[in-house]
Amino acid sequence: MIDFHTHIYPPNLPDYNKLYDSTQYVTLEKHDGETWMISEGKKFRKIEPNCFSLEERIKDMDSTGVEKQILSIVPILFAYNAPKKEIGQVVKYINDFLAACVEKYPNRFMALGTLPMQHVERCIFEIESMGDRLIGYQIGSNINGLNLDNETFYPIWDELEKRKLILFVHPWDMMGQEDMTEYWLPWLVGMPAETCRAICSMMFGGIFDKYPKLKVVFAHGGGSFCGTFGRIQHGYEVRPDLCGCKCKCSPKDYCGKFWTDSLVHSPNALKRLVKMIGEDNVLLGTDYPFPLGEKVPGSILKEAKMCKKINDKIRKGNLLKLL
Ligand SMILES: [Zn+2]
């Protein structure tokens, strides 16, 4: 198996709050033998060594049958609010770290870098300078409130398409999170909505028409897109003046033009996803090493009891083809 959706935290990430006299960067702190991510002065999440140690990850991979992981940073490190003069350095450190992980264990890891999306020229510089050390880039589902169809980002999509690199869209900066602070709702309600927002913005905004070879992968099986697809399709049909003024096709015709991971937590949802976007467009992804992920990689796939051909495609074949 190749696990497309995994996160890593660079263990020696410089303390940018000290360097830039800032409070907005995330740092790591050790308390009583525990390691915590600290955000805005508060404990955000406790992490275990497998979140930052390659060797710990390889042990887990060996015990669960994962041949390779695709590494991407923990989304809280995106720092899209950071000033332009600082973010270039931060991103450079992270991307060099990710590429070094791959170079240390080329048979076990590939990596998706991060981009300073608030600074488009620097994104282009970063993509050019990293060359083929990374297989693509992970970005958020909105950038400081801007949707992904915004013209500002066209040069980035152009550069990624030209270089045949993957764009992995991961939900972050969840809409409405200030209004639903209890019950982990930003993760359970906000994240799926964010991913659906990203798909619909790119689809209705004509991004899949303008960049037909851009390889876009959405996290969490496309979030709530699959479950609300009937409504989205119907909306397009009854109000083309609102939904169809920038795109060339109907929503159903875009299914199969993008990819998602397989992280939907239920065999029925996985079957529905495969039926909707196609058996060639789903990639195994577990959100390793976090608790909302799939603890035993491939277990949903096993429960869904799909045929060997589809299993092989999701476990590995589709990603190899995409690469
Ligand atoms: Zn994730």
Residues 8-32 pLDDT 10s: 999 999 999 999 999 999 999 988 8
Here the tokens at position 247 are 């795109």
Rounded to whole angstroms, the Cα distance separating 9 from 57 reads 12
Query: Pairing relation of β-strands 68-73 and 166-170?
Result: unpaired
Quick: pLDDT tens for 135-175.
999 999 999 999 999 999 999 999 999 999 999 999 999 99
Report CA(219)–ligand 1 centroid distance (Å): 7
- Inform me whether the pLDDT recorded for 41 exceeds 90: no
Q: Are 150 and 129 spatial neighbours (Cβ–Cβ below 8 Å)?
A: no
Tell me which residue has tokens 């076990």. 108
Report CA(237)–ligand 1 centroid distance (Å): 33
Report CA(285)–ligand 1 centroid distance (Å): 9
HEC per residue, 201-228: HHHHCCHHHHCCCCEEEECHHHHHHCCC
- Inform me whether the pLDDT recorded for 310 exceeds 90: yes
Beta strand segments in the chain, E: 2-8, 27-31, 34-39, 42-47, 68-73, 109-114, 136-140, 166-170, 215-218, 259-261, 282-283
Give the type of residue at 152: T
Report CA(72)–ligand 1 centroid distance (Å): 8
Residue 60 pLDDT class (50, 70, 90 cuts)? very high
Report CA(132)–ligand 1 centroid distance (Å): 23
Quick: pLDDT tens for 262-279.
999 999 999 999 999 999
Tell me which residue has tokens 């999701």. 314
Q: How far is CA 181 from the centre of its chain?
A: 23
Report CA(292)–ligand 1 centroid distance (Å): 9
Report CA(240)–ligand 1 centroid distance (Å): 33
Report CA(122)–ligand 1 centroid distance (Å): 24
pTM across the whole model = 0.97
DSSP per-residue letters across 247-310: -SS-HHHHTTSSEEES--SSHHHHHHHHHHH-TTSEE----BTSTTS-SSTTHHHHHHT--HHH
Closest CA to 227 of 261, 259, 186, 268: 268
Paired residues of 36 in beta bridges? 29, 46
DSSP per-residue letters across 293-308: S-SSTTHHHHHHT--H
Report CA(33)–ligand 1 centroid distance (Å): 25
User: What is the pLDDT averaged over residues 211-220?
Assistant: 98
For the chain, the average pLDDT equals 97
Closest CA to 83 of 27, 21, 29: 21
Report CA(23)–ligand 1 centroid distance (Å): 24
Report CA(172)–ligand 1 centroid distance (Å): 9
Here the tokens at position 106 are 């080329």
